[in-house]
Every structure is written in C-alpha cells, then in structure tokens.
Structure 1
Amino acid sequence: MMSYLLPSFSLVFEEENLEELRSDLWNNDPVPADLIVDDVTYDIDIAYRGSYTRKFRKRSYLIEFVNPETFSGKRMIHLNAEYKDPSLIRNKLSFDFFHDIGVLSPESQHVNLIRNGSPKGVYLQLESVDEYFLKKRGLPPGPIYYAVNNNANFSLLRDEKMKKSLLSGYQRAVGTETDDTILLNFIEHVNHTPLADFQNKIPDLLNVDTFLHWLAGAVCTMNNDGFTHNYALYHNSQTGLFEFIPWDYDATWGRKVDGGPMQYDYVHIEGKKSNHLCYLLMRVPEFRKRYRKILGDILENKFTVNYMENKVRSLHEALRPHILLDPYKHTKMDIYDQEPEFIFQFIRDRNSYLKKQLVNFD
C-alpha cells in the first residue's frame, strides 16, 4: 500500500513559553503558541492534557484557537500521543465503531506533529465535545459534562463512603452553574426512584435507547475505565434527556491502560456494577430485553472480524510509514506489525464470549 500523507501540524513556541509549559506538568494554564496547518497560521493557547499520561515522554495537548477562533469548525481540539497503545489506532477505531452503531462520538484524525522544527511523531487529533460538536451535528444546545474521575458513577457512594458532592466526578464543559441542578436532579432520581418505578420514570430523564447502544459499545470494545469515567454527558434541551458520549478509548480492543494485554472476558456483559445507573437499568426486564437485542445485532453485524478487518488493516497500513519516523515508536515496529492480528483475535474471543453470555441473559 502506498504511503498515506497525514496532515502536518507544526507547533511554534517562543522559547520562554515552551519553558513555562515544561516547568510544571500539572499546570492546566495554557501558554500562547502558533499552529501552522496547510500554510495557515493560527494563534492558539496550548496546555498539557490527561492525568497519568503527562508523565510519559510523548505528551498530549489541549489546544484552543484564538485567532482565527475556529479550525475546521472546532474551537478546541485534543492532540493525543496514544503513547501506550502499540497500534496508535485503538482510540480512533473505537470512536468510529461507536458512530457505526449509532452513538454520538467525536471525530478523529491522525496527524504528524512538529514542534519548533523537531518531529514529535504521530498524534491523534480529537474533536472536543462542546457546543461546536453539537452545532456541527445540528443538535440542540445543552450542557455537557466530562466524567473526569470514578465519582462519576451515578451513586451516592464511592468505595462505600458518602460523597461530599454528587457532582464531584464531573467537569462542566458547556453550560452555566444553574445547569448543574439538571445533572444533580438526574443523579438523585437514579438513587431515589424505587426499582418498581424505574422503567417508567427514567425514560423521562435519559435517552435509554442511546444509552443501551453506548453500553453495548463499551462492553464490546472493553473499556474497563469507560463506565465510571471516560465519557461525556450531553443534556439535549429539546428532548430534555441525557445522552452518553464515549471519550478516551485507547485502552480497548484487548489492551489495558499500560498497553499490556487484557483478557477477553475481563469486562462483564452488563458493564461494571460500580456504575449504579448501569446496574439499575440491567435490573429492569424490559431494558435487559432491549439491550439483549441491541448487543446481539452488533455482535452479528458490526463487532466481527469480517466488518472490522478492512478498517483495521487500512488504518494500520496507512500509518506504518509514519510510525517508522516517529521518534517514540520506530523501534517497536515488530509489535506494531502484530497488532492487527492481536485485535482480530480479541474480536473473535470477545464476540464468542459475549454470545455465550447472551444465551441465558434473559
């Protein structure tokens, strides 16, 4: 296959601004820089992003556009290093998979990153989940929250201790402080609605169908962290319902956050019970029945090697010439070259496991 020409993103820092950025890995305050794409120069603010990933040699960035204020219809983008994913494709593969099964998900594209003339390798450009995300899809405005830690579990408790705040697991990306009452009301209803009333009450607050599709996607791709964080919540002002949007899906398709293998049966067919909303929905026979059909259809038609093979191989082969030039990855080509078959074997094993679990799911 011929080399696929990835877009080049060239970051240009004043030396003092680069030093300020480097001086404190945990500082979220951005510094100014220029970003040059296709001979167009954008004034930007840039900061490191992520939590534990900031300690890696190859770091991820959050970029906000200042002048002009948008880039390809986006105000903010994330540049993910994908440092622990040997394939560098799992995040994109996951978001594209979610899109294919009918779940709102960010657009993504691989790019070659250059910083002050020095190549920094292949990155994944991710669309931010914000008001521009909604506008691009013609969706009604509404508050958006990122689930940023395991307090985002829809329970009154974490580790059997009462939370100081039910909103402590969330970071508001869009909306105002008054919107927080909408999310707070939702979490309180999840916890105080009797199970006998759950089937009738929760559909007034949650788009159950899209939730069940999101759950099926998280269960198939096996994002172990995707149930109590690594998602965004969007409250559709037109329907009055919450919808789930996947986020940070690099530790998927058979690999853990450290890049090591994860057993295909590690994540339960119902997701994780630590997500209290997930747990309660799966206690309702009608919702279980709907989930069973959704997951069964996906296992038959989408989560298969037949459906995914061309997507995986095309992406993998397209990136290979660029990975060879990546200063952080080029010495690990033997692992990179084995990744398609690793992913296919995971799909076979996971698909078979989930189908067996579905037999007695009712």
Structure 2
Amino acid sequence: MEHTKKLTEYQLFIHPIDFTELRRDIWIDEPIPAKLTVNKKRYNIDLAYRGSHIREFEKKSYHIIFRKPGMYRNAKEWHLNAEFMDPSLIRNKLSLDFFKDIGSLAPTSRFVNLKINGKNEGVYLELESVDEYFLENQKLPKGSIFYAVDGDANFSLMSELDQDVKKSLELGYERKCGKIEDEHALHEFIIKVNTISRLNFEKEIVRYLNVEKYIAWLAGVVFTQNYDGFVHNYALYRNGESGLFEIIPWDYDATWGRDIHGELMAEDYLRIEGFNTLTARILNVKTFRHQYQKRLENILQHQFTVEYMKPKIRTLMEVIRPYISKDRYVNKNIHLFDKEEEMICGYIEARTRYLKNNINILN
C-alpha cells in the first residue's frame, strides 16, 4: 500500500444554482456541472450523488466524471465515498487492499480531503471505477465488465427480489464496458451455472469461469465478512483473451466486524461456505472445495493475522487521524475512531477462531 503523510486536497466549485438543484432531490442521478481543482490543475466535471441508502446520510458520497480534460490519473471517472457509517473510515480500503494481497482483483483507492466551495467536507475515499480504464491500469486484457446492481445478480435463474423465474438474465446486471455479444456470454454463463449436471460440473465450469480467481474472491468475502457481497457489491469481468469470467469486489465498508449501520457484527455472522448459487455449486465439487479449504488455511497463516494486518490498520488510521479531527461530520466520534484499531484486531482474532473451528466442514 502507498501512503503519504499529507492527503491530496480536492477543491470542488459548484455554482449555487446547480448546488441547489443537486440537493433538491437526492435520488436523481442526473449530474450537474462543476469544477474540480487538484494540485493547482482545474478540471470540468459532471457531479452526482452515488450509492443507495447512503444518499440519506448527512455526509454525501459523490460520483465524478471528467469532461475537460477528459482524464485524471488515467481514468474517466472516480467515486468519492464518505464512509460515513464506519467509525474507522478505513474498512473499505482495508478490504480492497486485503483482496489484492490474497490474489484477487480489486480497485485501487486512496484517501483525500474534500472541500466544496471553500468549505471543508472532510476525509473521503477516492475509489477507482471498474471499467475499461481499470483493465488498462491493472494491465489486464481488454474485456467486458458487468456491475451487479441489485440482488438479482445472484447467479440464479430465480429472482432474488420477487422469488419467481427471471424474465431476463440481464436482471441484476449493468454492462459498464464491452460489446453486446458479451451479454450473450453472460447469459450462457448463468444458464450453465444452473444447468450443468453435477457429474459434469467440475470439467465444464472451467470453460466459463476462472475458478482459482473465484475461490480467492470467495475467501476474501468470507474473511472480511461482507454478507451482501454474494448478490451485489461486485463486478464481473470477462477476460477477452481467456473468455473466462472473473469477479471483482466493490463497496466493502460493512466489514471487519461492523455492519452497514456501523453496528457490531458477530464473528460467525457469515458462514464459512458463503452463499449464492455459483458458490454452492463450486463447493459441491470435492476438488474445488479442498482447493478453497487450502486457500483459507494459507490465508489464516499468512495474511489474516493481527501481526500482518495491524501495521496496515495503524498506518491508514495515522494518515487520516489529523483530518478526522477537522471533519465536522465525524469529529464528534473521534473517541470511537481511536478505539477502532483494537476493535478490528479483536474481530480478526474472533473470526480466526470461528474459521478454524469450522474449516473441517469443507472436508
């Protein structure tokens, strides 16, 4: 992980009329024009609120699209997350960095300090958009990316939302980049997940899915305990060279022992076998199940330890601590912030005990 002692400052200027329009209805996705200054360079941008339930929070999160110049840090768009319900503000970044450490794809992120019309808005997490520029920046082959936008992205033929057969296999997904034929590939993949016979599943599914990468992602979800990660909070990437699907985590603030409300989450809240149709079918194959078990054991030994994670936690918190005290939205809870290192480390110890006590289920 890369850190600096001083956070980059983002200065947003929004015309008062446009600002009034933005705040008039928090559920409108239509962006407003704005200007962003970073390191004395000015960008014309489109700006909108981002997220679902988080739009109701006092401290908003934002979606930025660059217009002129049309790129910033080799990206067309960025997300600024307030991380408002996380007392530490670091769980999202901590999770995404952890995914990278265990061999899974994940977007890059860094903390910035945001000002709007000269007024300090506090610490934000700048999150890379998962799109064609993400592929380029990560030196990955070109391909298609589908966002899982709701619970229908459950790898099933049945709708999670209305408990009936899906009217379309596109339900739950939004194509971010790629061609229309990639949607046909997604349809075929979901059909195969549900219709390949148990006898043939092991040898057939590898024609559609990078199973090794899926198992790495599954381990990441289970360790960080992101319950929602199985039916949304992810993106699907179809590698243009291999033709195989890979999975990318997204929005991992409700992790490391706290839920989406910032409340404590028991260490056994998410079972070791995970959820969703694809995960169930993967773990129903003895070879894949043992591969997953070995991956868990390896991570328990190397990355998911207090010894390994504590310096990362401390570094992140030390970087943003001076800015937290000036953040009018969260500085009143700075006493909670100061306890979060201990709290996250306690979660790691408790989750470790749960996983070690239940890992034989995978035998």
Same fold, judged at TM 0.5 (above): yes
| Post-superposition CA distance 1:328-350 (Å, at most 9, x none) | 00000111111001000000010
Give 1:24 deviation, angstroms: 1.6
1:168 corresponding residue in structure 2: 171
Give 1:93 deviation, angstroms: 0.2
Separation in 2, partners of 1:361, 1:130 = 35
Superposed, 1:54-93 pairs within 5 Å as 54-93=55-94
Match of 2:184 among 175, 181, 201: 181
Separation in 1, partners of 2:113, 2:205 = 45
| Post-superposition CA distance 1:19-72 (Å, at most 9, x none) | 111112111111111010000001111111100111111111111111111111
Give 1:179 deviation, angstroms: 2.0
Q: State the secondary structure of the residue aligned to 1:255.
A: coil
Give 1:357 deviation, angstroms: 1.0
Deviates more, 1:98-107 or 1:12-21: 12-21
Give 1:18 deviation, angstroms: 1.1
* Matching residue's letter, 1:263: A
Instruction: Summarize the Cα distance change of 1:278–1:360 in structure 2 as closer, same or farther, 3 Å threshold.
Output: closer
Separation in 2, partners of 1:70, 1:89 = 26
1:143 corresponding residue in structure 2: 144
Separation in 2, partners of 1:360, 1:106 = 32
Give 1:198 deviation, angstroms: 0.6
Q: State the secondary structure of the residue aligned to 1:161.
A: coil
2:14 corresponding residue in structure 1: 13
* Matching residue's letter, 1:327: R
Q: State the secondary structure of the residue aligned to 1:201.
A: helix
| Post-superposition CA distance 1:219-271 (Å, at most 9, x none) | 00000100110000000010010000000000000000000000000101111
Separation in 2, partners of 1:270, 1:167 = 26
2:234 corresponding residue in structure 1: 231
Give 1:360 deviation, angstroms: 3.9
Separation in 2, partners of 1:11, 1:259 = 28
Q: State the secondary structure of the residue aligned to 1:123.
A: strand
Match of 1:191 among 194, 197, 203: 194
Separation in 1, partners of 2:105, 2:361 = 30
Deviates more, 1:59-68 or 1:17-26: 17-26
**Mapped pair 1:303 → 2:270:** no
* Matching residue's letter, 1:280: R
2:335 corresponding residue in structure 1: 334
Q: State the secondary structure of the residue aligned to 1:256.
A: coil
Separation in 1, partners of 2:67, 2:328 = 30
Match of 2:272 among 269, 288, 291: 269
Structure 2 unaligned runs (5+)? Answer: none
1:357 corresponding residue in structure 2: 358
* Matching residue's letter, 1:6: L
Separation in 2, partners of 1:158, 1:135 = 34
* Matching residue's letter, 2:257: G
Match of 1:250 among 247, 253, 261: 253
1:290 corresponding residue in structure 2: 291
TM-score, with length taken from structure 2:
0.97
* Matching residue's letter, 1:211: Y
2:110 corresponding residue in structure 1: 109
1:217 corresponding residue in structure 2: 220
Give 1:125 deviation, angstroms: 0.2
Separation in 2, partners of 1:203, 1:295 = 21
* Matching residue's letter, 1:165: S
* Matching residue's letter, 1:187: I
How many equivalent pairs are there? 358
Q: Which runs of 4+ in 1 moved over 6 A?
A: none
Separation in 2, partners of 1:76, 1:320 = 27
Q: State the secondary structure of the residue aligned to 1:196.
A: coil
Separation in 2, partners of 1:288, 1:158 = 26
